[in-house]
Amino acid sequence: MIDIKILGTGCPKCKALEKLTRAVVEKAAIEANITKVENIADIMRYNVMVTPALVINGKVMIKGRIPTMVELQQLLIMT
């Protein structure tokens, strides 16, 4: 099972990344645990200064932007 964290305080881009991630996981039938992290202190532990950010299995994969659906699918499938 893949552990996915969406880092962001609740801005529109953060919500869009969460929605996109959930859609890709469902469409590709990927077993994943998706968590939304909104606490600034928790976000800072990942050395992320700009959100939204996507963490897969403890590694920051994307920060400061929303990936395309294809890019996100590739990241999740390769994991």
58 annotated active-site: no
- Sign of the C-alpha dihedral, residues 43, 57, 26, 54? positive
Let me know: does 28 contact 21? Beta carbons within 8 Å.
Answer: no
Find the catalytic residue in 7, 14, 48, 53.
14
- Sign of the C-alpha dihedral, residues 1, 60, 54, 72? negative
14 annotated active-site: yes
Find the catalytic residue in 11, 16, 28, 49.
11
Catalytic (active-site) positions: 11, 14
